[in-house]
Amino acid sequence: MTTTEKKEMEVVKGLDLERYMGRWYEIASFPSRFQPKNGVDTRATYTLNPDGTVHVLNETWSNGKRGFIEGSAYKADPKSDEAKLKVKFYVPPFLPIIPVTGDYWVLFVDPDYQHALVGQPSRSYLWILSRTAHMEEETYKQLVEKAVEEGYDISKLHRTTQSDTPPEADTAPADSKGVWWFKSLFGK
């Protein structure tokens, strides 16, 4: 195998979607040129819908304003036990008319569903997520090592600033554009 060939990524099998639901804080990610460089307190909240799909709410704060976009996620192959999801957002957020779909592959989640590593097949995007706004350094290093094993160039990994007391959604003025979210996810 040459160095340009990369093995297929291993994804979580048998992901318990109900346990995966709830709020996840972004500890680190591959930044996108479309994402605000000063975005802080970035997080995602997942809610299971009655039809088995997942409601997705992505939020970040930039210059004191809350930016957000909502979408839905669903299993790429309902018959597979692999944690390969598709995430669909409609854009622009204030006039949802154009569906944009991306991949969301859960590469690792700990047995207690407290930490997760999420990527996608092109390896252009990577997220390290935690149930709490801060992660122990040893745990962080283990997740970074897992990303390296899966063929990611971790030199692009950027830590996300998280407050000790994360803001609530209703305490900040909204950034109604929200467009950077889908651009950061899909590199468009």
Residue 4 predicted with pLDDT over 60: no
**Worst-scoring range by mean pLDDT, 4-18, 109-123, 131-145?**
4-18
Q: How much is the pLDDT for 7?
A: 77
Instruction: Give the DSSP per-residue string, 15-82.
Output: --HHHH-EEEEEEEE---TTS-TT-EEEEEEEEE-TTS-EEEEEEEEETTEEEEEEEEEEESSTT--B
**Using one digit for the tens of pLDDT, what is the confidence trace for 69-107?**
889 999 999 999 999 999 998 766 666 677 888 999 999
3-state secondary structure of 157: coil
**Worst-scoring range by mean pLDDT, 11-20, 30-39, 64-73?**
30-39
pTM for the predicted model, two decimal places = 0.84
**Using one digit for the tens of pLDDT, what is the confidence trace for 125-153?**
999 999 999 999 999 999 999 999 999 99
CATH number of this structure's domain 18-162: 2.40.128.20
84 CB-near residues (< 8 Å, 6+ apart): 11, 75, 76, 77, 103, 104, 105
